[in-house]
Amino acid sequence: MPENSSDMQTLDASTFKAEIARLNKIIQALMNRAERSSAAQGSDFNLFQTAIVLEEQVRRRTQDLEAAMRENEKINRALQQAKARMELEIQERMLAEEKVLHRNSELTQLNIQLSQAQEQLMQSEKLASLGQLAAGVAHEINNPIGFIFSNFGTLNNYLDDLFEILSSYEAAEKSITDAVVSNNLKTLRDRLEIDFLKNDISQLMTESKEGLIRVRKIVQDLKNFSRVDSNQEWQWADLHQGIDSTLNIINSEVKYKADIIKDYGDIPNVECLPSQINQVFMNLLVNAAHAIGETRGTITVRTSCDLQNVWIEIIDNGSGIPKANLSRIFDPFFTTKPVGKGTGLGLSLSYGIIKKHHGNIEVESEVGQGTTFRISLPIKHRNEDEPEAPKTISGDPVTATTQQITSANES
């Protein structure tokens, strides 16, 4: 529209100039005509007066045209200013729309993160509830097991007394002179298989006691694993005991798939939240068992330490993790398991727990060869306002595909 206004301005100015030139030519022609008439016929006052009137009309018309041109220029300037304001408003509106779209994108991302956090919180609450339930059940089971152990010891003493008196009766049989009584006792002895019962009862008691000991250990490991009787304060814990308790709890997940190799080093107790560290061990060990295919494999648990940190390595010879998935395995809800087989929160929760302990978690994997998870934990818990101790990393150079997730000093 401003281009059309500029063309109109140029066209009107040309028209006005042409009109003024035409009127000037008419005036000049009339004046020439008057001069010729005066020269030919003498002075003609009327013709001169007519020329003056025409000249005045031309002057007025010229003034009107100049005023119209000035008004036209003013209108054109106003149109150009309006165009500039309109273009500025359009730019501002486009910037505002971009900001709105960017804000909507941020809100959408925040909603996704909030949903993930809610799911993760729900999963954590479920795990905490299951831990409380497991500890409660373990406590309830532990009481009758205590009764059984106590009664079992008493029963064992009673059986020893019975076997002792039975041996005395057997020795006294030789002193019986009545043949009928002696034969009856021998027949009853053979029918009841007294010799077999004496041996079998002893074996049954031994096996039953071993079974009770195993049940008691499972219950104790379950209590140690859940740790709901603790107040979730930082405390010194034996990581080897935590690993053993966890392996005992998940024995049904592992025993049919892999052999466990324990390569424990001489490590000190670690100041940590034991139940959460046990949760990390369980997630990594179960994942290692699931990564092993049809052929029976091995899972190696290795520990070592230096002056500031301890390391726990969980190594399997399973299927391995593709390189494309290595950078995503700690993302919430990421899983390569079939639908319904995994939540995708195990490694994410483990990462959060290790981060909370100011530690590191690394993974090395090669498809078809296996996977190694390496956890580094500070021996002494460091508060947020305490400086981080210098780290030393030992071990051979990594030759397989490696993805390191560092959780220390992350905000």
pTM of the predicted model as reported, rounded to 2 decimal places = 0.48
Cβ-defined contacts of 64-70 (< 8 Å, 24+): 65/16, 65/19, 65/20, 66/16, 68/12, 68/16, 69/12, 69/13, 69/16
Whole-number Å distance between alpha carbons of 149 and 155: 10
* CA-derived radius of gyration, the chain: 51
Tell whether the model's pLDDT for residue 346 goes beyond 80: no
In which element (H, E) is residue 228 found? none
| Range in 25-39, 70-84, 121-135 the model is least confident about | 121-135
Whole-number Å distance between alpha carbons of 125 and 119: 10
Give pLDDT, residue 395.
Answer: 40
User: What letter would DSSP give residue 264?
Assistant: -
Mean predicted confidence (pLDDT) in 10-34 = 70
**Cα separation values, 190 from 121, 180, 372, Å:** 68, 15, 62
Q: Which of 150-154, 185-189, 364-368, 375-379 has the highest mean pLDDT?
A: 375-379
Contact 7, 72 (CB under 8 A): no
Computed over every residue of the chain, the mean pLDDT equals: 76
pLDDT tens-digit series, residues 109-158: 888 877 766 666 666 655 655 655 666 666 677 777 777 878 878 888 88
Of 369, 363, 349, nearest to 291 (Cα)? 369
Q: How confident is the model at residue 391 (pLDDT cuts 50, 70, 90)?
A: very low
Mean predicted confidence (pLDDT) in 387-402 = 41
Q: How confident is the model at residue 191 (pLDDT cuts 50, 70, 90)?
A: confident
What does DSSP say about strands 309-316 and 270-272: parallel, antiparallel, or unpaired? Answer: unpaired
What does DSSP say about strands 258-263 and 270-272: parallel, antiparallel, or unpaired? Answer: unpaired
Contact 398, 362 (CB under 8 A): no
Tell whether the model's pLDDT for residue 392 goes beyond 50: no
Mean predicted confidence (pLDDT) in 332-349 = 60
Of 401, 252, 253, 377, nearest to 329 (Cα)? 401
| Residue 92 or residue 46, greater confidence | 92
Q: b/e string for 282-307 if b means 16 or more Cβ within 10 A?
A: bbbbbbbbbbbeeeebbbbbbbbbee
269 CB-contact burial (10 Å; exposed 0-12 / middle 13-18 / buried 19+): middle
pLDDT tens-digit series, residues 217-232: 777 766 666 554 444 6
Tell whether the model's pLDDT for residue 189 goes beyond 50: yes
Sign of CA dihedral 115, 118, 124, 128: negative
Whole-number Å distance between alpha carbons of 288 and 278: 15
Whole-number Å distance between alpha carbons of 271 and 233: 10
Taking every pair of Cα atoms in the chain, the longest distance, rounded to a whole number of angstroms, is 201
Q: Tokens standing for 273?
A: 């939240």
Give pLDDT, residue 226.
Answer: 56
pLDDT tens-digit series, residues 276-329: 898 899 889 988 998 888 889 999 999 999 999 999 999 999 888 888 777 777
Give pLDDT, residue 232.
Answer: 62
Mean predicted confidence (pLDDT) in 375-392 = 69
Tell whether the model's pLDDT for residue 159 goes beyond 80: yes
Tell whether the model's pLDDT for residue 90 goes beyond 70: yes
Whole-number Å distance between alpha carbons of 316 and 67: 96
374 CB-contact burial (10 Å; exposed 0-12 / middle 13-18 / buried 19+): buried
